[in-house]
Protein backbone atom coordinates (compact mmCIF):
# COMPACT_ATOMS: atom_id res chain seq x y z
CA UNK A 1 0.00 0.00 0.00
CA UNK A 2 1.49 3.33 -1.06
CA UNK A 3 -1.66 5.43 -1.49
CA UNK A 4 -5.14 5.96 -0.09
CA UNK A 5 -8.33 6.92 -1.87
CA UNK A 6 -11.90 7.88 -1.07
CA UNK A 7 -13.64 5.03 -2.91
CA UNK A 8 -17.14 6.08 -1.80
CA UNK A 9 -18.59 8.43 0.80
CA UNK A 10 -17.07 7.71 4.22
CA UNK A 11 -14.93 4.93 2.75
CA UNK A 12 -11.12 4.98 2.61
CA UNK A 13 -9.39 2.27 0.59
CA UNK A 14 -5.67 1.47 0.41
CA UNK A 15 -4.17 0.94 -3.01
CA UNK A 16 -0.91 0.90 -4.93
CA UNK A 17 -0.26 3.62 -7.47
CA UNK A 18 2.73 3.42 -9.82
CA UNK A 19 5.58 5.86 -9.33
CA UNK A 20 5.81 8.68 -11.83
CA UNK A 21 7.80 8.22 -15.05
CA UNK A 22 10.69 10.61 -15.80
CA UNK A 23 9.39 14.17 -16.20
CA UNK A 24 8.82 15.70 -19.60
CA UNK A 25 9.15 19.36 -20.59
CA UNK A 26 7.60 21.67 -18.02
CA UNK A 27 7.04 18.85 -15.56
CA UNK A 28 8.30 17.92 -12.11
CA UNK A 29 8.16 14.65 -10.22
CA UNK A 30 7.42 15.16 -6.52
CA UNK A 31 6.95 13.27 -3.27
CA UNK A 32 4.59 14.32 -0.47
CA UNK A 33 6.04 14.82 3.00
CA UNK A 34 3.08 16.59 4.63
CA UNK A 35 -0.59 16.96 3.78
CA UNK A 36 -3.00 19.33 5.45
CA UNK A 37 -6.58 18.21 6.03
CA UNK A 38 -9.02 20.92 5.04
CA UNK A 39 -12.78 21.38 4.86
CA UNK A 40 -12.77 20.34 1.20
CA UNK A 41 -11.17 17.00 2.09
CA UNK A 42 -13.77 16.43 4.81
CA UNK A 43 -16.65 17.34 2.48
CA UNK A 44 -15.25 14.98 -0.17
CA UNK A 45 -14.98 12.21 2.41
CA UNK A 46 -18.60 12.76 3.49
CA UNK A 47 -19.91 12.94 -0.07
CA UNK A 48 -20.90 16.60 0.19
CA UNK A 49 -18.49 18.35 -2.17
CA UNK A 50 -19.98 19.31 -5.55
CA UNK A 51 -16.93 18.80 -7.78
CA UNK A 52 -15.64 15.47 -6.43
CA UNK A 53 -16.00 12.09 -8.15
CA UNK A 54 -15.19 8.68 -6.65
CA UNK A 55 -12.77 7.01 -6.49
CA UNK A 56 -10.17 9.69 -5.91
CA UNK A 57 -6.94 10.08 -3.95
CA UNK A 58 -7.29 13.35 -2.01
CA UNK A 59 -4.66 15.83 -0.95
CA UNK A 60 -4.06 19.36 -2.20
CA UNK A 61 -2.51 21.14 0.80
CA UNK A 62 0.94 19.71 0.33
CA UNK A 63 4.51 20.10 1.49
CA UNK A 64 6.50 18.43 -1.29
CA UNK A 65 10.03 17.33 -2.15
CA UNK A 66 11.15 17.71 -5.76
CA UNK A 67 12.49 14.39 -7.05
CA UNK A 68 13.17 15.24 -10.71
CA UNK A 69 12.45 18.04 -13.18
CA UNK A 70 12.17 18.38 -16.95
CA UNK A 71 15.17 19.64 -18.87
CA UNK A 72 13.60 23.07 -19.41
CA UNK A 73 12.70 23.68 -15.74
CA UNK A 74 15.04 26.16 -14.06
CA UNK A 75 13.28 27.66 -11.00
CA UNK A 76 13.46 24.42 -8.97
CA UNK A 77 15.79 21.44 -8.78
CA UNK A 78 15.78 17.96 -7.22
CA UNK A 79 15.87 18.13 -3.44
CA UNK A 80 13.99 21.43 -3.21
CA UNK A 81 11.11 21.79 -0.77
CA UNK A 82 7.97 23.28 -2.29
CA UNK A 83 4.35 24.16 -1.77
CA UNK A 84 1.93 23.12 -4.47
CA UNK A 85 -0.44 25.56 -6.13
CA UNK A 86 -2.99 22.82 -6.86
CA UNK A 87 -5.15 24.61 -9.44
CA UNK A 88 -4.11 23.16 -12.80
CA UNK A 89 -5.39 25.64 -15.37
CA UNK A 90 -5.03 25.98 -19.13
CA UNK A 91 -2.46 28.78 -19.54
CA UNK A 92 -3.80 29.57 -23.00
CA UNK A 93 -7.43 30.11 -22.02
CA UNK A 94 -8.81 33.66 -22.25
CA UNK A 95 -9.41 33.67 -18.49
CA UNK A 96 -5.84 32.60 -17.73
CA UNK A 97 -4.52 35.14 -20.20
CA UNK A 98 -6.32 37.81 -18.16
CA UNK A 99 -4.32 36.69 -15.12
CA UNK A 100 -7.17 34.74 -13.53
CA UNK A 101 -5.97 31.16 -13.87
CA UNK A 102 -7.48 30.48 -10.44
CA UNK A 103 -10.93 30.42 -12.08
CA UNK A 104 -10.01 29.20 -15.56
CA UNK A 105 -12.99 27.26 -16.99
CA UNK A 106 -10.70 24.26 -17.51
CA UNK A 107 -9.13 24.34 -14.04
CA UNK A 108 -8.68 21.00 -12.31
CA UNK A 109 -7.76 20.90 -8.64
CA UNK A 110 -5.26 18.28 -7.51
CA UNK A 111 -6.98 16.02 -4.99
CA UNK A 112 -10.46 16.97 -6.21
CA UNK A 113 -10.70 16.61 -9.99
CA UNK A 114 -7.54 14.50 -10.27
CA UNK A 115 -5.60 12.30 -7.87
CA UNK A 116 -3.79 14.16 -5.12
CA UNK A 117 -0.95 13.78 -2.69
CA UNK A 118 -2.17 11.27 -0.09
CA UNK A 119 0.44 8.75 -1.21
CA UNK A 120 3.96 7.64 -0.45
CA UNK A 121 4.92 7.25 -4.09
CA UNK A 122 5.97 9.93 -6.55
CA UNK A 123 3.66 11.77 -8.94
CA UNK A 124 3.90 14.40 -11.66
CA UNK A 125 2.76 18.02 -11.55
CA UNK A 126 3.35 21.04 -13.80
CA UNK A 127 6.60 22.56 -12.55
CA UNK A 128 5.10 26.06 -12.82
CA UNK A 129 2.74 25.11 -9.98
CA UNK A 130 5.56 24.53 -7.49
CA UNK A 131 6.64 27.34 -5.18
CA UNK A 132 10.03 26.72 -3.52
CA UNK A 133 10.62 27.36 0.16
CA UNK A 134 13.75 25.53 1.23
CA UNK A 135 14.00 27.55 4.44
CA UNK A 136 10.47 26.56 5.50
CA UNK A 137 9.44 23.28 7.10
CA UNK A 138 7.24 20.80 5.28
CA UNK A 139 4.55 21.57 7.87
CA UNK A 140 4.67 25.24 6.92
CA UNK A 141 4.63 24.50 3.20
CA UNK A 142 1.48 22.40 3.68
CA UNK A 143 -0.22 25.45 5.23
CA UNK A 144 0.55 27.81 2.36
CA UNK A 145 -2.49 26.91 0.25
CA UNK A 146 -4.95 27.52 3.10
CA UNK A 147 -3.33 30.85 3.87
CA UNK A 148 -3.38 31.79 0.17
CA UNK A 149 -7.15 31.21 -0.01
CA UNK A 150 -7.68 33.67 2.84
CA UNK A 151 -5.18 36.14 1.41
CA UNK A 152 -6.98 36.15 -1.93
CA UNK A 153 -10.35 36.69 -0.23
CA UNK A 154 -9.00 39.71 1.66
CA UNK A 155 -7.67 41.15 -1.58
CA UNK A 156 -11.09 40.68 -3.19
CA UNK A 157 -12.67 42.69 -0.37
CA UNK A 158 -9.96 45.35 -0.67
CA UNK A 159 -10.34 46.90 2.80
CA UNK A 160 -9.00 50.40 3.22
CA UNK A 161 -7.67 52.27 6.28
CA UNK A 162 -10.54 53.36 8.49
CA UNK A 163 -12.86 50.58 7.34
CA UNK A 164 -14.31 47.78 9.46
CA UNK A 165 -14.03 44.17 8.28
CA UNK A 166 -16.24 41.43 9.71
CA UNK A 167 -15.03 37.86 9.15
CA UNK A 168 -17.80 35.31 9.64
CA UNK A 169 -16.51 31.85 10.46
CA UNK A 170 -13.33 31.19 12.43
CA UNK A 171 -12.38 27.94 10.74
CA UNK A 172 -9.08 27.65 8.85
CA UNK A 173 -10.11 29.89 5.93
CA UNK A 174 -11.58 32.54 8.21
CA UNK A 175 -8.45 32.41 10.34
CA UNK A 176 -6.32 32.82 7.22
CA UNK A 177 -8.28 35.96 6.36
CA UNK A 178 -7.70 37.26 9.88
CA UNK A 179 -3.95 36.66 9.64
CA UNK A 180 -3.69 39.12 6.76
CA UNK A 181 -6.19 41.63 8.06
CA UNK A 182 -3.99 41.92 11.15
CA UNK A 183 -1.14 43.07 8.93
CA UNK A 184 -3.15 45.94 7.44
CA UNK A 185 -2.72 49.37 8.98
CA UNK A 186 -5.83 51.19 10.12
CA UNK A 187 -8.33 48.38 9.48
CA UNK A 188 -10.79 47.54 12.25
CA UNK A 189 -11.20 43.74 12.45
CA UNK A 190 -14.10 41.81 14.00
CA UNK A 191 -14.65 38.05 13.89
CA UNK A 192 -17.91 36.16 14.44
CA UNK A 193 -18.49 32.47 14.99
CA UNK A 194 -21.00 30.20 16.71
CA UNK A 195 -18.34 28.37 18.71
CA UNK A 196 -16.81 30.25 21.63
CA UNK A 197 -13.65 28.12 21.68
CA UNK A 198 -12.80 29.30 18.16
CA UNK A 199 -13.27 32.90 19.22
CA UNK A 200 -11.04 32.23 22.23
CA UNK A 201 -8.37 30.95 19.81
CA UNK A 202 -8.65 34.20 17.84
CA UNK A 203 -8.10 36.19 21.02
CA UNK A 204 -5.28 34.08 22.44
CA UNK A 205 -3.32 33.23 19.30
CA UNK A 206 -4.15 36.07 16.90
CA UNK A 207 -4.51 38.86 19.44
CA UNK A 208 -7.97 39.90 18.27
CA UNK A 209 -9.99 41.78 20.87
CA UNK A 210 -13.30 42.18 19.02
CA UNK A 211 -15.20 38.90 18.78
CA UNK A 212 -18.89 38.14 18.38
CA UNK A 213 -20.63 34.88 19.17
CA UNK A 214 -23.61 34.32 16.92
CA UNK A 215 -26.87 34.29 18.86
CA UNK A 216 -30.15 32.86 17.60
CA UNK A 217 -32.04 35.82 19.04
CA UNK A 218 -30.06 38.26 16.90
CA UNK A 219 -28.42 40.04 19.83
CA UNK A 220 -25.04 39.77 18.11
CA UNK A 221 -26.26 42.41 15.63
CA UNK A 222 -26.75 44.85 18.50
CA UNK A 223 -23.24 44.07 19.67
CA UNK A 224 -21.90 44.70 16.14
CA UNK A 225 -23.68 48.05 16.09
CA UNK A 226 -22.05 48.89 19.43
CA UNK A 227 -18.59 47.99 18.12
CA UNK A 228 -19.00 50.08 14.97
CA UNK A 229 -20.85 53.10 16.30
CA UNK A 230 -23.95 51.96 14.44
CA UNK A 231 -22.20 51.90 11.05
CA UNK A 232 -21.86 48.11 10.74
CA UNK A 233 -19.13 46.51 8.55
CA UNK A 234 -17.66 48.00 5.37
CA UNK A 235 -16.38 44.59 4.28
CA UNK A 236 -17.86 41.22 5.18
CA UNK A 237 -15.99 38.00 4.40
CA UNK A 238 -18.22 34.95 4.84
CA UNK A 239 -16.03 31.88 5.27
CA UNK A 240 -18.74 29.55 6.55
CA UNK A 241 -20.07 27.83 3.44
CA UNK A 242 -23.36 27.83 5.37
CA UNK A 243 -26.31 28.93 3.21
CA UNK A 244 -28.10 30.50 6.17
CA UNK A 245 -25.11 32.64 7.03
CA UNK A 246 -24.42 33.50 3.40
CA UNK A 247 -28.02 34.64 2.90
CA UNK A 248 -28.25 36.71 6.08
CA UNK A 249 -24.79 38.31 6.19
CA UNK A 250 -25.95 41.34 4.18
CA UNK A 251 -27.71 42.47 7.36
CA UNK A 252 -24.30 43.25 8.85
CA UNK A 253 -23.13 45.40 5.93
CA UNK A 254 -22.72 49.16 6.05
CA UNK A 255 -24.10 51.32 3.26
CA UNK A 256 -21.92 50.83 0.11
CA UNK A 257 -20.36 47.79 1.78
CA UNK A 258 -18.75 44.78 0.08
CA UNK A 259 -19.61 41.16 0.79
CA UNK A 260 -17.12 38.44 -0.15
CA UNK A 261 -18.13 34.77 -0.36
CA UNK A 262 -15.08 32.59 0.14
CA UNK A 263 -17.06 29.63 1.50
CA UNK A 264 -18.79 27.25 -0.93
CA UNK A 265 -22.34 25.89 -0.85
CA UNK A 266 -24.39 23.84 -3.32
CA UNK A 267 -27.61 25.38 -1.98
CA UNK A 268 -29.54 28.19 -3.59
CA UNK A 269 -29.22 31.49 -1.73
CA UNK A 270 -31.84 34.17 -1.21
CA UNK A 271 -31.68 37.56 0.47
CA UNK A 272 -33.81 40.72 0.73
CA UNK A 273 -33.02 42.82 -2.33
CA UNK A 274 -34.84 46.15 -2.08
CA UNK A 275 -34.67 46.81 1.68
CA UNK A 276 -31.05 45.73 2.17
CA UNK A 277 -28.98 44.94 -0.92
CA UNK A 278 -30.38 47.65 -3.20
CA UNK A 279 -31.01 50.31 -0.57
CA UNK A 280 -27.49 50.04 0.81
CA UNK A 281 -25.93 49.74 -2.68
CA UNK A 282 -23.94 46.68 -1.67
CA UNK A 283 -21.40 44.80 -3.79
CA UNK A 284 -21.25 40.99 -3.78
CA UNK A 285 -17.95 39.30 -4.70
CA UNK A 286 -16.86 35.69 -5.06
CA UNK A 287 -13.38 34.53 -4.09
CA UNK A 288 -12.11 31.31 -5.66
CA UNK A 289 -8.78 29.60 -5.05
CA UNK A 290 -5.71 31.88 -5.18
CA UNK A 291 -3.13 33.29 -7.59
CA UNK A 292 0.55 32.37 -8.08
CA UNK A 293 1.56 35.71 -6.58
CA UNK A 294 -0.47 34.86 -3.47
CA UNK A 295 1.62 31.73 -2.89
CA UNK A 296 4.85 33.67 -3.30
CA UNK A 297 3.65 36.32 -0.87
CA UNK A 298 2.64 33.75 1.76
CA UNK A 299 6.03 32.03 1.65
CA UNK A 300 7.70 35.42 2.03
CA UNK A 301 5.45 36.39 4.96
CA UNK A 302 6.28 33.14 6.78
CA UNK A 303 9.98 33.55 6.03
CA UNK A 304 9.94 37.11 7.41
CA UNK A 305 8.10 36.04 10.56
CA UNK A 306 5.07 38.16 9.76
CA UNK A 307 2.89 35.07 10.09
CA UNK A 308 3.40 32.62 12.94
CA UNK A 309 2.28 29.17 11.83
CA UNK A 310 3.01 27.48 15.17
CA UNK A 311 -0.53 27.79 16.64
CA UNK A 312 -2.18 26.50 13.50
CA UNK A 313 -1.31 22.81 13.70
CA UNK A 314 -3.35 21.35 16.55
CA UNK A 315 -3.53 17.70 15.43
CA UNK A 316 -1.37 15.32 13.45
CA UNK A 317 -1.60 11.70 12.33
CA UNK A 318 0.61 9.41 10.27
CA UNK A 319 -0.17 8.02 6.83
CA UNK A 320 -0.80 4.57 8.33
CA UNK A 321 -3.29 6.05 10.82
CA UNK A 322 -5.46 7.72 8.18
CA UNK A 323 -7.98 4.85 7.62
CA UNK A 324 -8.75 4.62 11.32
CA UNK A 325 -8.50 8.25 12.39
CA UNK A 326 -9.50 10.45 9.45
CA UNK A 327 -13.23 10.40 10.27
CA UNK A 328 -12.65 12.03 13.66
CA UNK A 329 -11.88 15.33 11.94
CA UNK A 330 -15.45 15.56 10.62
CA UNK A 331 -16.54 16.25 14.22
CA UNK A 332 -16.22 19.98 14.94
CA UNK A 333 -16.10 19.24 18.66
CA UNK A 334 -12.63 17.74 18.28
CA UNK A 335 -11.28 21.28 18.29
CA UNK A 336 -8.98 20.94 15.29
CA UNK A 337 -7.71 24.13 13.71
CA UNK A 338 -5.47 22.33 11.23
CA UNK A 339 -4.62 18.63 11.16
CA UNK A 340 -1.50 17.42 9.36
CA UNK A 341 -0.82 13.99 7.89
CA UNK A 342 2.84 12.93 8.14
CA UNK A 343 3.57 10.88 5.05
CA UNK A 344 7.36 10.57 4.99
Q: Tens digit of pLDDT for each residue in 183-196?
A: 999 999 999 999 99
pLDDT above 90 for 61: yes
Give pLDDT, residue 226: 97
Pairing type for strands 283-286 and 81-84 reads unpaired
pLDDT of residue 225: 97
Beta bridge partners of 55: none
pLDDT of 242 strictly over 90: yes
What sign for the dihedral angle of Cα 285, 289, 294, 298? positive
3-state secondary structure string, 311-331? CCEEEEEEHHHHHHHHHHHHC
**Would you list the DSSP string of 177-210?**
HHHHHTTSTT-EEEEEES-HHHHHHHHHHH----
Given pLDDT bands bounded at 50, 70 and 90, which one contains residue 26? Answer: very high
pLDDT at 51 (0 to 100): 82
Q: What is the mean pLDDT of residues 132-153?
A: 99
pTM of the model: 0.95
CA distance 262 to 240: 8
Q: What is the pLDDT of residue 72?
A: 98
Confidence of residue 332 (pLDDT cuts 50, 70, 90): confident
Domain 150-286 fold: Rossmann fold (3.40.50)
User: In the prediction, which pLDDT does 266 show?
Assistant: 86
**CB half-sphere exposure, 7, CA atoms < 13 A:** 8
What topology is assigned to 3-134+312-342 in CATH?
A: Quinone Oxidoreductase; Chain A, domain 1 (3.90.180)
In angstroms, what is the C-alpha Rg of the chain? Answer: 20
Q: What is the pLDDT of residue 114?
A: 96
pLDDT digits (tens, 9 = 90+) for 287-326: 999 999 999 999 999 999 999 999 999 999 999 999 999 9
* Mean pLDDT over the full length of the chain: 97
Question: Domain map of the chain by residue range?
Answer: 3-134+312-342, 150-286
For position 333, what pLDDT does the model report?
87
Average pLDDT (254-277) is 94
Q: Are 151 and 180 spatial neighbours (Cβ–Cβ below 8 Å)?
A: yes
pLDDT of residue 50: 80
Contact 277, 246 (CB under 8 A): no
Element (H, E) at 32: strand 27-37
Longest dimension (CA), the chain: 63
Predicted pLDDT of residue 331: 95
Amino acid sequence: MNALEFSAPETIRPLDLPDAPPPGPGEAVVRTHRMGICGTDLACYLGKFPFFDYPRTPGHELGLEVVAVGDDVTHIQPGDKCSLEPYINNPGSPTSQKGAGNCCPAVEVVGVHKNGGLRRGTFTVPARKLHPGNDLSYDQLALVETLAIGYHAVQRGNPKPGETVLVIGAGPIGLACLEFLKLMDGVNVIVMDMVQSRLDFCTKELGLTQTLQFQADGSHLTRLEDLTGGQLADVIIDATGNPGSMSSCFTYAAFTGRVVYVGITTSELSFPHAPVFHRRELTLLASRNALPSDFADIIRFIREGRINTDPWITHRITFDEVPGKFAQFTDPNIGAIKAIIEIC
